[in-house]
Structure 1
């Protein structure tokens, strides 16, 4: 049996290669994702480990938000450094300052292109044992007019020692002489970030706080372990500090990074799973048709004494070999995928140094997934093969009996109804995360139900849409329709692969269109200001900009908005800090009770959901604490309807600043006087922002377009990944048609013998492919529309308030489905037309 199995594999190399290609693509994406994320993890693990001092001291946070950026200044004093130096076992200790939002400008005055990686300002540590940086040229910076840059930034900007370098800090913009170039960490890489180093006093002045540090690096004396030194330093400093060893510090940073990386990994693996799911249909179709074509051969094996189990194992062995080979090739292709992902993320600023990481678990998972998918898909055809009666080997006219679709209809209907019920439930629950989960479960159930019902729905659909084919294409059209209807299971399996891909693409298109429309509505309804000053990525910027704008003639009001985190009854949440005097001119809030006046003198505004969940009402005392431990004694002064621009909790800018909130703006809203010359004022505003190229001025339409840009970019990535499933679906159609041509060789010969020419034959195959593709496309678009609208409704609490179905794009997808049918039929149609008539008729 093993010899027969191998012979069958070699006899059907091309057919199996097309099926194997689906596994290759899916496994390549799985393994590529794992290789990329392992490389990403190693890059940052090495970076964190090489830059951590023996012991690190930071001011403790009042609560663990699990989120970056508390919005509160939490530092350690110079006295704390002196205390650490007195601890037994400390060889050296020094405070350090570091901050994001410090950008190097190139020779043209533009922000140095890091592709999205952060710009970081650091203090230069002269003690080599405590420093994470190593000079490779020049000397250390001294005084406010000198700076050192990392090697990559200096090379990108084209700066040499002695050049004047403009640096945009979170405080003022500075011009400094480049006196040194350095590498960072043991590997010398900074993962794409730009680094600008100043002496400690200058760093404190520019982006820190004079006399205070972000943390303390501590070096252990000989014979003292990191753990011993940690305990001694912690005991000396007392409460209010977080003291970690080098390993603990690296692990903490790596843990935070891994949380963010987990989303990327799950995101990419989800699309790999979709690709493998779609590929399963191709494997199922391939083995079903191969078994059908080998009916006499398998029956003859049974007649010669082979048992059912042997026949089943033979077919599964073919699948096993296909899975192993496909997994091996896919594993090799994973390196290409990982290299592509590294290049893609590198264009966004995440530069990964060193080679790709190839771990054993990547091999195990890739082979396991590829083999499991292939063998599972081949199981049902293998069982059918085993049931082939031996008498079939003695007959030329044996035809497999078409099984009833009753069971599939019942199961598919039950699953589809359950999916629909989950979608309906998602529309009535109040919790957004629960609604999204229900939509996910409902979507999966609805897809599985549609797949099960697809053969049932295929016949009436194909007969209906195919009714025009005989009129338009004559005999070729009628035969194409009948060929598609003849085996509804095969047609449904072929169309289902395309259905899944287009359902997801069209669903995300609806989400994208709805999000864009909701952004426009949000800006129109919530934004009262004429202009918005902000960075494209929402990074903080100097409050000096708002002060300069206030001095421009024609500007009536300037409103600063900052963000942070605070804990209410121990529960951390984001807060928005905004000018109480000018809030009403900047944002439009729909108050349920109270009003903007309630924000003054330690007031608090919250949206109605927050008030309801906490049982708050206007006049209640609501204590809070910032991450730096400073309290906020607040009184609820107003409750407003949900507003994405304001957020869920608003405090006054004065109260936030007094409690040590970060003195950096995220948005500045500008209102013009009624009699102001808008063009002249805009010119002055742009002139004011010219020294700060990272900060831009937008009117309401431009601001809405900028926000839509983030959504469009994300959807572009999602649709590019989903295109993989569509490509695999196309391979499935090609494979099915090719196998169908082989299966119908004698029939095609008879058609040619009675007068059908090659052109008509090619038309018949193409039309069959188009009908199947259009069926899959229509099913996919219907499902995608249902799922997209359900998810939009579930995300209403997240700000997606305008459901939109992009009709033009949906019609384009339908046209693409038809084009896919034409392209997929090119090779099978040529193969059918090139068959020799006599050889085809003589085929058994």
Structure 2
């Protein structure tokens, strides 16, 4: 093994440029995998921390499956179960805070974006938990407007014992006097504000209700504990569960999808690196034919030759993977810095540092090193099979077209034909399979198309490099090794196809979501809570706020959304209550099934409108019934329409009437309010009146509907710009591949370049030959990439449409233009180093090159 490592290290040091470029290819792929998959878990963790405050260390935490509130008398029923030692009922609610709420200073960063308001029965809670008060006192039964907080929260907000902490509630702001300070909070979750249970019920307008029961058991045997848990569930009924709250589970599911997408992009980047490595090693085998022959003649066995090439791949794979992991963490940090302002504004979430798990490190190492070894395996095996005589014999020149149009070519043709047929079916499953076949088919037919495509583009380049003959020389150099050129172009194909895919989705999303946005956010004014879509973390307002807005002079109509978490047919969904009469006057759903008559139908018994995403997830259509889990048990709702709005377009949402969400889910709290003005109303005076009505409800932000639309469109633009930058970043391996191929070509043609210089060719003409090769390669990869990207784009839009998103396919004209420009730029960039390398060759040394 020593001789193999020694030879591998010597070869790598001898070709520093090629070694660097090949290592960069795998570094780049690992960078994308680590960067993206460290960023999304950080966001998921931050969201869970914001929504689900961690429970204390107890034997059981009992909640409704809907995570809704229930009668406090359930505590006594749990306490009566044999084996339960002590129980405590509490009302726990996340309170999202508006920006600058605690310090009222825009120049200073917010101390915290959310708190957990915890109402406890003091006697029960102190029997279950030990509260070690560091300063002041703990809560006492009968305390009113009194709170106990942790030292860490006290330091964050600069308050102490005797100071006042004011919090927004559905009934207006409540001022709490801090009676005691607990040790700093060590558990994952929001900082907690403890009040008495009666105080929390009054603040949240939930008299007699709790949403969590904590219990400790007398038994320690695992089987006995399981039996006791089952006994508790039997006592309470099948609407309850043991475990954490399920609020906003549907949003977390969407984040899992996003993480899968970014993982796919990372794998594609690694595969592009694999193409580069495969191409490089295959060329190295051809370049070292004489070296291999000499080694074989001196007694080296096939295993020695195979081991040498695999050792080269292993060294480059390890170095590229380690550097890729480090660079990926840096990319995650940049992503956090870029996303933090957006998520803070839209969802009131503080992301924190990227999360690099052991599984991510191991997976990245396996993929990075594994792809490198696999990419080098076939060329290494080919090198091992070379006999001494064959290796020392002069190599054969051109490859015939008949040889290229073999089994692989015709298999590729069949795959492309099947892909086109799949497109005609309009079935997303067949289209998805067709996308894979189409890309593989293009790669397989690529070598046979190199000659005609290169001839076409060399004809175009001949007009640029008139009468110099450089375009024809470039064409001849590429067609001499069509397989190598096709594999190099395949990396460009993958990169450009991802770009066109992204452009197709972006264009279609902009059109589809833009239409839905204007329809659902087109009211004159909107009262926005701190967090959009994650409705369960917001503290809304009672009906008195909407009533006060209706009293403002100039306001014609006011309508609101109300939220309740639930499950439909066993799946977590977001339940929104709307007023069937006023909702369509200030907003509107975009219907994919049914029409606006569905609003009136909501007032007729238990009926529901499903969002497209919910219709897909639940497999339901108009006339079907879906089972919604309520605090008192399951209820059947009949579907009267399928439609969605902009704010909930990505979430599995069910819309029911205000009456039904109040009767079945006990929810009367408005989480978003929209208002329209009467014709001819004084807009400035009406806005001032609404701000006065909002004085006691600072959790809402008053904004004009058009202004909010403009905010969201600006957010779209920034996200899509970042997406284009990311996708162009993913195309970087294609530049590395072309530099590698061109540099290898220069080395192979050293004597040929020397002869050209000897018969009078200038350094500039040699540079133009390499530049023409790069441009033809880039054109080949870009052409194939655009074709593949258009197919993938159609597939992506069709998939999103099938999952219920408001999408209509729009041809990505701008994306195609960007791809063409990027192809030319990449071609020029790829030619710089090899062209300089070729033009600086000394004539005598080049002619003596072996």
- Give the TM-score normalised by structure 1: 0.82
1:172-571 to 2 correspondences below 5 Å: 172-178=172-178, 182=182, 187-190=186-189, 193=190, 195-207=192-204, 209-220=206-217, 235=231, 239-240=235-236, 249=243, 262-263=256-257, 265-304=259-298, 311-331=305-325, 336=330, 348=343, 359=358, 364-386=362-384, 388=386, 390-395=388-393, 399=397, 403-425=403-425, 427=426, 429=427, 435=428, 437-474=429-466, 475=468, 476-524=470-518, 529-535=523-529, 537-538=532-533, 539=535, 540=538, 541-543=540-542, 544-564=544-564
Aligned length: 814
Q: Distance in 2 between matches of 1:116 and 1:752?
A: 70
* Contact 1:519–1:708 under 8 Å retained in 2: no
Shift in Å at residue 510 of structure 1?
1.7
Pick the aligned partner of 1:819 from 814, 817, 825: 825
Pick the aligned partner of 1:108 from 101, 104, 107: 104
* Contact 1:519–1:707 under 8 Å retained in 2: no
Q: Distance in 1 between matches of 2:644 and 2:494?
A: 36
Q: Distance in 2 between matches of 1:455 and 1:582?
A: 64
Does residue 59 of structure 2 align to residue 55 of structure 1? yes
* Contact 1:101–1:118 under 8 Å retained in 2: yes
Q: Distance in 1 between matches of 2:523 and 2:409?
A: 58
Q: Distance in 2 between matches of 1:277 and 1:45?
A: 33
* Contact 2:578–2:656 under 8 Å retained in 1: yes
Match for residue 93 of structure 1? 87
For residues 404-436 of structure 1, the C-alpha deviation after alignment (integer angstroms, 9 at most, x for no partner) is 2433321211222233333333x2x4xxxxx2x
Moved more, 274-283 or 310-319: 310-319
Does residue 748 of structure 2 align to residue 768 of structure 1? no
Q: Alignment partner of 1:94: what SS?
A: strand
For residues 253-275 of structure 1, the C-alpha deviation after alignment (integer angstroms, 9 at most, x for no partner) is 99999967754653442222111
Does residue 24 of structure 2 align to residue 18 of structure 1? no
Q: Distance in 1 between matches of 2:756 and 2:136?
A: 84
* Contact 1:498–1:729 under 8 Å retained in 2: yes
Q: Alignment partner of 2:464: what SS?
A: helix
Match for residue 742 of structure 1? 747
Moved more, 500-509 or 450-459: 450-459
Call closer, same or farther: CA 1:574–1:4 in 2, change over 3 Å.
closer
Pick the aligned partner of 2:632 from 613, 622, 629: 629
Shift in Å at residue 139 of structure 1?
5.0
Match for residue 798 of structure 2? 793
Shift in Å at residue 748 of structure 1?
2.0
Q: Distance in 2 between matches of 1:512 and 1:415?
A: 28
* Contact 2:454–2:776 under 8 Å retained in 1: yes
Shift in Å at residue 608 of structure 1?
12
Match for residue 432 of structure 1? none
* Contact 1:230–1:244 under 8 Å retained in 2: no
Call closer, same or farther: CA 1:54–1:574 in 2, change over 3 Å.
closer
Shift in Å at residue 500 of structure 1?
0.9
Call closer, same or farther: CA 1:738–1:131 in 2, change over 3 Å.
farther
Q: Distance in 2 between matches of 1:35 and 1:587?
A: 38
Shift in Å at residue 310 of structure 1?
5.3
RMSD between superposed Cα atoms in Å: 4.5
List gaps (5 residues or longer) in structure 1: 62-69, 430-434
Shift in Å at residue 575 of structure 1?
4.7
Shift in Å at residue 334 of structure 1?
5.6
Does residue 846 of structure 2 align to residue 840 of structure 1? yes
1:119-130 to 2 correspondences below 5 Å: 119-123=115-119, 130=128
Shift in Å at residue 23 of structure 1?
1.9
For residues 222-242 of structure 1, the C-alpha deviation after alignment (integer angstroms, 9 at most, x for no partner) is x76787578568757853268
Q: Distance in 2 between matches of 1:232 and 1:394?
A: 80
Q: Distance in 2 between matches of 1:278 and 1:207?
A: 55
Q: Distance in 1 between matches of 2:809 and 2:255?
A: 31
- Give the TM-score normalised by structure 2: 0.82
1:54-93 to 2 correspondences below 5 Å: 54-61=58-65, 70=66, 73-77=68-72, 79-82=73-76, 84=78, 92-93=86-87
Q: Alignment partner of 1:559: what SS?
A: strand
* Contact 1:57–1:242 under 8 Å retained in 2: no
Q: Distance in 2 between matches of 1:396 and 1:820?
A: 34
List gaps (5 residues or longer) in structure 2: none
Q: Alignment partner of 2:235: what SS?
A: coil
Q: Alignment partner of 1:843: what SS?
A: coil
For residues 541-590 of structure 1, the C-alpha deviation after alignment (integer angstroms, 9 at most, x for no partner) is 22343222111111122122234466778787655422133244234577
Q: Alignment partner of 1:804: what SS?
A: coil
Shift in Å at residue 793 of structure 1?
3.4
* Contact 2:139–2:196 under 8 Å retained in 1: yes
Q: Alignment partner of 2:562: what SS?
A: strand
* Contact 2:332–2:354 under 8 Å retained in 1: no
* Contact 1:560–1:668 under 8 Å retained in 2: yes
Q: Alignment partner of 2:667: what SS?
A: coil
* Contact 1:103–1:169 under 8 Å retained in 2: no
Q: Alignment partner of 1:20: what SS?
A: helix
Q: Distance in 2 between matches of 1:530 and 1:218?
A: 50
Q: Distance in 2 between matches of 1:614 and 1:365?
A: 38
Shift in Å at residue 282 of structure 1?
0.7
Shift in Å at residue 278 of structure 1?
0.8
Moved more, 248-257 or 51-60: 248-257
Call closer, same or farther: CA 1:404–1:671 in 2, change over 3 Å.
same
Q: Alignment partner of 1:210: what SS?
A: coil
